[in-house]
């Protein structure tokens, strides 16, 4: 499992759209093998932070380090190499509707490898089997359920055997049973792949079921007000904002 060596280090990060401040002074470490939760109320900047981590938006200030490399200070070629180690699952699954599920999984393999078409088909089938979709290669996204689309999106995120998986609200729109099955799948894949997982979510069931590290972003003070294992935060935090979030407003900690 995790060897607890730093994998991603965020240092004094400030996020803004022009003069509009989103978050400031974010400093935290994501260790190798973590399932790291980015949490907080609506509008706090969770998805914006994810965009900064995956290379879609540059910070107003601060650094994001992958190992010893400062991502936003690196040359474009080095940033591209780092980004090849990412797998990203978007809220909707973001599958191409005109392509079959198998073709969707094959797309990054065709773009970034020199594998033969036969090898690519084999890998796509393997990735789909890992997420419980064996035999669905020829189906189109419109022909499968929402939960299956999420799993297909996860299979595509894993296509290039990434070191880091980024998920943006993976349980959004899923019923509780499908969300629970997706949580179990994420745990299994973390164990089998040895990947670091970063998840933006507000779903408490997922936060407590799979998260072992986290950061809590506050929209009012526009900075982080807690970090650590979500279960430990619930048991030990004295901040009413954190407790109210983790108890859905009940404000009382479990005995």
The mean pLDDT of 161-171, rounded to a whole number, is 89
Contact 208, 199 (CB under 8 A): no
CA nearest neighbour of 51 among 16, 96, 94: 16
Q: What pLDDT, on the 0 to 100 scale, is given for residue 186?
A: 87
What DSSP string runs through 211-245? Answer: -SEEEEEETTTTEEEEES-HHHHHHH---HHHHHH
The angle subtended at Cα 236 by Cα 43 and Cα 65, nearest 5°, is: 55
Task: Reply yes or no on whether the pLDDT at 10 is more than 50.
Answer: yes
Is the predicted pLDDT of residue 2 greater than 70, yes or no?
A: no
Helical (H) or strand (E) element with 163: none
pLDDT above 80: residue 169: yes
Q: Across the strands, what pairs with 214?
A: 37
pLDDT in tens, 65-108: 999 999 999 999 999 999 989 998 876 667 888 999 999 999 98
Instruction: State the chain's mean pLDDT as an integer.
Output: 90
Identify which has the larger pLDDT, 184 or 4. Answer: 184
219 and 45 in contact (C-beta within 8 Å)?
A: yes
Domain 1-85+164-244 has CATH 3.40.980.10: no
Q: Which pLDDT belongs to residue 251?
A: 60
Nearest C-alpha neighbor of 47 from the set 11, 78, 8, 92:
92
Q: What are the start and end residues of each CATH 3.40.50.300 domain in the chain?
A: 1-85+164-244
Farthest CA pair distance, the chain: 58
The pLDDT of residue 3: 54
Instruction: Please tell me which residue, 52 or 149, carries the higher pLDDT value.
Output: 52
pLDDT at residue 114 tops 50: yes
- Considering the entire predicted model, what is its pTM? 0.89
Q: What are phi and psi of 4, to 5 degrees?
A: 60, 30
Angle at Cα 166 formed by Cα 222 and Cα 168, nearest 5°?
A: 60
Summarize the confidence of residues 211-228 as an average pLDDT. 96
């Amino acid at each position: 499992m995790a060897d607890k060596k730093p994998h991603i280090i965020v240092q004094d990060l400030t996020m803004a759209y022009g003069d509009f401040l989103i978050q400031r002074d974010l400093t935290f470490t994501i260790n190798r093998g973590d399932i790291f939760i980015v949490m907080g109320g609506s509008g706090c900047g969770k998805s914006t932070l994810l965009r900064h981590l995956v290379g879609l938006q540059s910070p107003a200030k601060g650094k994001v380090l992958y190992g010893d490399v400062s991502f936003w200070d690196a040359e474009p070629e080095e940033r591209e190499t780092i980004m090849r180690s990412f797998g990203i699952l978007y809220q909707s699954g973001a599958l191409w509707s005109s392509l079959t599920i198998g073709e969707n999984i094959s797309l990054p393999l065709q773009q970034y490898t020199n594998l033969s078409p036969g090898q690519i088909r084999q890998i796509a089938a393997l990735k789909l089997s890992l997420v419980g979709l064996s035999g669905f290669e020829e189906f189109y996204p419109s022909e499968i359920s929402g939960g299956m689309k999420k799993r297909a999106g996860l299979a595509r995120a894993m296509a290039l055997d990434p070191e880091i998986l980024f998920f943006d609200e993976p349980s959004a729109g899923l019923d509780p049973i499908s969300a629970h099955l997706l949580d179990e799948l994420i745990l299994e894949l973390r164990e089998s792949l040895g990947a670091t997982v970063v998840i933006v979510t507000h779903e408490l069931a997922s936060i407590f079921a799979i998260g072992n590290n986290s950061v809590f972003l506050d929209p009012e003070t526009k900075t982080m007000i807690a970090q650590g294992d979500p279960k430990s935060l619930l048991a030990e935090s004295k901040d009413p904002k954190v407790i109210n979030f983790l108890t859905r407003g009940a404000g009382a900690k479990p005995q």
